[in-house]
Amino acid sequence: MSTKDDEMLKELALEEYKYGFTTDIEMDIAPKGLSEDTVRLISAKKNEPEWLLEWRLKALRHFMKMDMPAWQNFTLPEIDFQDISYYAAPKAKPKLNSLDEVDPELLSTFEKLGIPLDEQKVLAGVVAVDAVFDSVSVKTTFREKLKEQGVIFCSFGEAVQEHPELVKQYLGSVVPQTDNVYAALNSAVFSDGSFVYIPKGVRCPMELSTYFRINAENTGQFERTLIIADEGAYVSYLEGCTAPMRDENQLHAAVVELIALKDAEIKYSTVQNWYPGDKDGKGGIYNFVTKRGICKGDNSKISWTQVETGSAITWKYPGVILKGDHSVGEFYSVALTRNKQLADTGTKMIHLGKHTRSKIVSKGISAGTSHNSYRGLVKIGPGAEGSRNFTQCDSLLIGDRCGAHTFPYIENRNRTATLEHEATTSKIGEDQLFYLTQRGIDPEKAVGLIVNGYAKEVLNQLPMEFAVEAQKLLAISLEGSVG
């Protein structure tokens, strides 16, 4: 590295995380520690039926018996599960009926994050938002408008109260409580999240979005999202996330389950920008998330798109179980790591039905001393006649102290299946940078251009307004990473 690069790297370290502020609000926080009492407390706070409490307790008992995984490509830091508070909610009236009842401090927090919760301020019905602050959903917009078409979009807690039959039928049906250690933990202590149901034949009239915000100290966020698209339905859903800058690591262990019935389509996009920690790797969110969808019916489709720029450690593999014949699963990912960030992410495509198709496009970008891994599984079951998979994994390195790794696993048990795999690793070349700066372009902007060009195939999958956001985010995240 030349001295010029070093200077730039120093600048990069000083680059502020834009969303690092904290909100000062009176909170109801559960005492630290994890036990059956903790679970009972959460369940009682949420006024849950007995069956759900039992479901949680079963998950907890399972969690207590499980060992931490050891197969990952990074050293998993010791997490003291007794040192975390599992419930934190802003003190407020028990039930919010209108925006006037939402604490103005919370409204201004989301306003600051660029998430207006006032429907009047949103341009004619572009996006409906569920805003989750620590452990609870504070506001879901456009509910009435969506209801006209039979679309249910509400917090998970409300769904448990108002649509228990749907929750009971589908909760844990894609990600069982016993799936992995963090899914088990989430199943035991999940506090809120979003619930979506799109009825038969309905094309959801607007983008649905959940915005997750961690605010309180020493807490974890364990949200649960459940999206059901009934026969012939369509929905596009986006989640965004940010957290304040804190010196301690915070745990985020979410579970997302998607269910697409016959001829239904779910498009799930994530722009993940949790606090990544400082330049020395101090603080930041551990983002250990289980996301999975099932194409239950024939001709159904589930598409995951993710832009991952935040978190100290990201560990997630959004997958699709392709059960219905002719169903389609897609995974488009851009994962950017810098400083000491670690990302181990990819997908699982499980082909069970006949003529099922999956497509995986993964674009890793590593800068600083970060490490970025793609880990993916493509599994073709014996009954998956004529199935196809296409996988493309590209890695882009910025500087010479970072790492990119690829772990593609393939299990094929049907001879008629076709699998293709392509992988490339490239470095942002001095010649590419010089070419752009020679045309008068600032070096940082030049890197932004190159990276956005590289990630274009994935960014193109995002809904328009979010694609613009994601492009900016990538450029901001890279500021100063190259000389």
Partner 1 sequence: MLTINNLHAAVESQEILKGLNLEVKAGEVHAIMGPNGSGKSTLGNVLAGRESYEVTAGEVLLDGKDLLELSPEDRAREGVFLAFQYPVEIPGVSNINFLKTALSEIRAYKGLPPLEARDFLKMVKEKQQLVEFDAKLANRSLNEGFSGGEKKRNEIFQLAMLEPKLAILDETDSGLDIDALRIVASGVNHLRSKDNAFIVITHYQRLLEYIVPDFVHVLYKGRIVRSGTKELALELEEKGYDWIKETVGAENAV
Chain positions contacting partner 1, by CB under 8 A: 2, 4, 429-432, 434-443, 445, 449-450, 452-457
Which of 259, 474 has the CB closer to partner 1?
474
Nearer to partner 1, 316 or 363 (CB): 363
Which pair of tokens denotes residue 472?
Answer: 């900016």
d(CA 174, CA 223) in angstroms, rounded, equals 16
Dihedral sign for Cα 441, 445, 449, 451, please: positive
194-198 and 152-155: which strand pairing?
antiparallel
Q: How far is the CB of 442 from partner 1 (least distance, A)?
A: 6
Nearest approach, Cβ of residue 398 and partner 1 (Å): 15
Q: What is the DSSP letter of 442?
A: -
- In the structure encoding, which two tokens stand for residue 13, read together? 């370290």
Q: Which is nearer to partner 1, 121 or 439 (CB)?
A: 439
Closest CB to partner 1 among residues 73, 452: 452
Closer CB to partner 1, residue 403 or residue 443? 443
Backbone angles phi, psi at 79, to 5 degrees: -115, 125
Range list of β-strands (E), 142-297: 152-155, 194-198, 207-213, 224-229, 234-242, 249-252, 255-260, 265-272, 284-295
Question: Please, what is the minimum distance in Å from the beta carbon of residue 338 to partner 1?
Answer: 20
Closest CA to 139 of 205, 192, 88: 192
Shortest distance, CB of residue 449 to partner 1, whole angstroms?
Answer: 5
As measured in angstroms, the least distance from the Cβ of 303 to partner 1 is 20
Closer residue to partner 1 (CB): 415 or 439: 439
Residue 412, phi then psi, degrees to nearest 5? -115, 120
Question: Of the two residues 288 and 454, which places its CB atom closer to partner 1 in the complex?
Answer: 454
Of the two residues 312 and 396, which places its CB atom closer to partner 1 in the complex?
396
- Rank residues 99 and 441 by Cβ distance to partner 1 and give the closer one: 441
Closest CA to 289 of 272, 266, 267, 302: 272
Report the nearest approach of partner 1 to the CB of residue 465 (Å).
Answer: 19
Taking the complex as a whole, how short is the minimal distance between the CB of residue 222 and partner 1, in angstroms?
Answer: 37
> C-beta of 433: minimal distance to partner 1 in Å?
9
Distance in Å, CB of 357 to partner 1, minimum: 25
CA angle 129, 132, 138 (to 5 degrees): 80
Nearer residue to partner 1 within complex by CB, 53 or 475: 475
Non-local (6+) Cβ contacts of 143 within 8 A are: 128, 153, 154
Rounded to whole angstroms, the Cα distance separating 308 from 458 reads 12
Contact in structure between 258 and 295 (CB atoms under 8 Å): no
109, 115, 118, 120 alpha-carbon torsion, rounded to 10°: 150
SS3 sequence of 370-394? CEEEEEEEEEECCCCCCCEEEEEEE
Residues 6+ apart with CB under 8 A from 178: 59, 62, 184
Collapsing DSSP states into helix, strand and coil, what is residue 97?
coil
Shortest Å distance, C-beta 392 to partner 1: 13
**Do the Cβ atoms of 238 and 209 come closer than 8 Å?**
yes
CB 6, min distance to partner 1, A: 14
Cβ 483 to partner 1 shortest distance, Å: 8
Q: Rg of the chain's alpha carbons, rounded to an integer?
A: 22
Question: What is the b/e burial string over 13-44, where b = at least 16 CB atoms within 10 angstroms of the residue's CB?
Answer: eebebebeeebebebebbeeebeeebbebbbe
Under DSSP, is residue 476 helix (H, G, I), strand (E, B) or coil?
helix
396 or 404: whose CB is closer to partner 1? 396
Whichever of 29 and 449 has its CB closer to partner 1, that residue is 449
Q: Which stretch of DSSP H or E encloses residue 301? A: strand 301-308
The distance of Cα 195 from the centroid of its chain, to the nearest Å, equals 15
